[in-house]
């Protein structure tokens, strides 16, 4: 041990949960030490997740739009992809963002320690640096924000450089001719979209009966229909029985409803079947923190664990494992440590799958309402009726609102369509503010925009959207019924 120091709040993990907590605690006047193994904060989101994958999805979008420009009479030659430059650009984006966070720590005078921390006891951390040196840090409180890692490839999957998890897929060593994606969730569909746009023949296998099993089927259908011609195959109710090295590739035998009996050959296999919390290896046994069977940290509404000196936020505390949920929890934990009355109790946490088209939703969705027996009124606005969607030649989208049938309060919003990830914020605000369909329908939205679809869906709750005709009884017929 070379040194011993004290801090009011230590934060282990510099991802969007950890750094948001650090910045908030600092803004509230607390002395903060942020600890992460990387040179700068950023976490999986910036180094190996959201940011690099969105950079690649941006490129995928350019490639797809160039191909689809033929609709407007514009033709380009087949694109040439310089993989080295592509990787460099992606790395530059990551470096710029993580470097910026490092700067923000400095300007806020937050102490940033590069190292691996673990608990010696509830209020003492041991931090091992890259060079093996160890320091001890006494803390009043610690916020644990160590995130998650890809579910490991089970024993079924052999060790092979042709096998990839999301981290390896983002290295983009090559563009495989044939790529098998195991798991039709967020990562499988986003990275499958990237590789398909780059020219890989992508096969997606999903063990459930639908892609994105958690989302409403009508939203998923919009994506599924558009994906079908882009990818080689989408096999539902299907999983992997075995994978063997074969000459120049991997021989994969699939099992399930849509599987063929004989093995199929792939250059690479990308496995994305969920993520596991990083709750081991941080010395939690030396604290009073308790874990669920799945290794999630149990927390209360303030994100306090069973140990009064330790808070936990982000993927560690369970689904949804989303960066923005972690950031919000981080702010709540910091406020709680600063003695404020606070709680993590959002009405809506937006989910966005950044495919093409994007699928986004928030609040109570139809599937969940059905499962819980909650009566709702649902309105759907097809983008075929949107002028803006027509000008983009993207009429396949759908906007839906889930409302309380008695009060017309908006309980949930779902959007599948180009730009849905940007549009959903209006829905989140509506749900959080307790807006009614009348509030949203009577709010003037700019024309022509895709945002108008939210206004028109709200109008549909009352049966009078301008661009969708809903048949209603003829006046005489209606009068006769009175």
Is 358 near ligand NAD (CB under 6 A)?
Answer: no
Place of tokens 């940007």: 422
Is 206 near ligand NAD (CB under 6 A)?
Answer: yes
Annotated catalytic residue, options 447, 464, 467, 469 = 447
Q: How far is the CB of 273 from ligand NAD (least distance, A)?
A: 4
Is 183 near ligand NAD (CB under 6 A)?
Answer: yes
Q: Please state, in angstroms and rounded to a whole number, the distance separating the CA atoms of residues 76 and 69.
A: 8
Is 185 near ligand NAD (CB under 6 A)?
Answer: yes
Is 207 near ligand NAD (CB under 6 A)?
Answer: yes
Q: Which residue is nearest to ligand NAD (CB)?
A: 185
Active site residue 447: yes
Is 272 near ligand NAD (CB under 6 A)?
Answer: yes
Residue 269's beta-bridge partner residues? 163, 180
Cβ closest to ligand NAD, residue 13 vs residue 382: 13
Is 274 near ligand NAD (CB under 6 A)?
Answer: yes
Choose the stretch contacting ligand NAD; rule: CB under 6 A; options: 58-66, 186-194, 380-388, 422-430: 186-194
Is 308 near ligand NAD (CB under 6 A)?
Answer: no
**228 Cβ partners below 8 Å, 6+ apart?**
234
Q: Please state, in angstroms and rounded to a whole number, the distance separating the CA atoms of residues 437 and 401.
A: 8
Each residue 275-304 as x (binds ligand NAD by CB under 6 A) or -, in order, gives x-----------------------------
Q: How far is the CB of 188 from ligand NAD (least distance, A)?
A: 5
Cβ closest to ligand NAD, residue 320 vs residue 395: 320
Is 94 near ligand NAD (CB under 6 A)?
Answer: no
Cβ closest to ligand NAD, residue 328 vs residue 388: 328
Is 186 near ligand NAD (CB under 6 A)?
Answer: yes
Cβ closest to ligand NAD, residue 208 vs residue 368: 208
CB of 16 closer than 8 Å to CB of 47: no
Q: How far is the CB of 138 from ligand NAD (least distance, A)?
A: 35
Is 234 near ligand NAD (CB under 6 A)?
Answer: no
Q: Which of 34, 35, 353, 411 binds ligand NAD (CB under 6 A)?
A: 353
Cβ closest to ligand NAD, residue 33 vs residue 53: 53
Residues that contact ligand NAD, how many (by CB under 6 A): 25
Is 57 near ligand NAD (CB under 6 A)?
Answer: no
Is 237 near ligand NAD (CB under 6 A)?
Answer: no
Is 181 near ligand NAD (CB under 6 A)?
Answer: no
CB of 272 closer than 8 Å to CB of 187: yes
Is 307 near ligand NAD (CB under 6 A)?
Answer: no
Is 208 near ligand NAD (CB under 6 A)?
Answer: yes
Is 321 near ligand NAD (CB under 6 A)?
Answer: yes
Show which residues are catalytic: 447
Give residues in contact with ligand NAD (CB under 6 A): 182-188, 190, 205-208, 213, 239-240, 272-275, 320-322, 352-354
């Amino acid at each position: 041990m070379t040194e011993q120091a004290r801090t009011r709040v230590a934060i282990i993990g510099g991802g969007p949960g950890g750094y948001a907590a650090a910045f908030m605690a600092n803004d509230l006047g607390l002395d903060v030490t942020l600890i992460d193994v990387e040179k700068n904060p950023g976490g999986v989101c910036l180094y190996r997740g959201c940011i690099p994958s969105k950079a690649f999805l941006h490129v995928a979008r350019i490639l797809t739009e160039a191909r689809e420009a033929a609709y407007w009479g514009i033709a380009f030659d087949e694109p040439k992809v310089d993989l080295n430059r592509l990787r460099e650009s992606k790395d530059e984006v990551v470096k710029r963002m993580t470097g910026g966070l490092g700067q923000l720590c400095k300007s806020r005078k937050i102490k940033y320690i590069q190292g691996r921390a673990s608990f010696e006891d509830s209020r003492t951390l041991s931090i091992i640096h890259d060079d093996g040196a160890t320091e001890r840090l006494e803390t009043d409180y610690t916020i644990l924000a160590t995130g998650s890692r890809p579910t490991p490839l089970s024993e079924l999957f052999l060790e092979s450089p042709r096998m990839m998890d999301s981290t390896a897929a983002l290295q983009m060593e090559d563009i495989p001719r044939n790529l098998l994606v195991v798991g039709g969730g967020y990562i499988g569909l986003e990275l499958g979209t990237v590789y398909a746009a780059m020219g890989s023949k992508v096969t997606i296998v999903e063990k459930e009966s639908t892609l994105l099993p958690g989302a409403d089927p009508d939203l998923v259908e919009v994506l599924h229909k558009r994906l079908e011609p882009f990818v080689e195959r989408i096999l539902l109710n299907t999983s992997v029985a075995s994978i063997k090295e074969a000459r120049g590739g991997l021989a994969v035998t699939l099992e399930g409803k849509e599987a063929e009996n004989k093995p199929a050959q792939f250059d690479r296999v990308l496995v994305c079947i969920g993520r596991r919390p990083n709750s081991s290896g941080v010395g939690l046994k030396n604290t009073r923190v308790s874990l669920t069977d799945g290794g999630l940290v149990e927390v209360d509404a303030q994100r306090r664990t069973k140990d009064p000196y330790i808070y936990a936020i982000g993927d560690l505390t369970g689904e949804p494992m989303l960066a923005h949920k972690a950031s919000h929890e981080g702010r709540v934990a910091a406020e709680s440590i600063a003695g404020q009355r606070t709680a993590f109790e959002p009405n809506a946490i937006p989910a966005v799958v950044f495919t093409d088209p994007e699928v986004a939703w928030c609040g109570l969705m139809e599937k969940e309402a059905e499962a819980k027996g909650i009566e709702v009124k649902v309105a759907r606005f097809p983008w075929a009726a949107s002028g803006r969607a027509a000008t983009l030649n993207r009429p396949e989208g759908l906007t839906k609102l889930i409302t309380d049938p008695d009060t017309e309060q908006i309980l949930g919003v779902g959007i599948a369509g180009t730009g849905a990830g940007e549009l959903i914020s209006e829905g989140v605000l509506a749900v959080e503010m307790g807006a009614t369909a009348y509030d949203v329908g009577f709010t003037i939205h700019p024309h022509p925009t895709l945002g108008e679809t939210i206004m028109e869906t709200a109008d549909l709750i009352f049966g009078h959207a301008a661009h969708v005709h809903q048949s209603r009884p003829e006046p005489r017929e209606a009068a006769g019924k009175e």
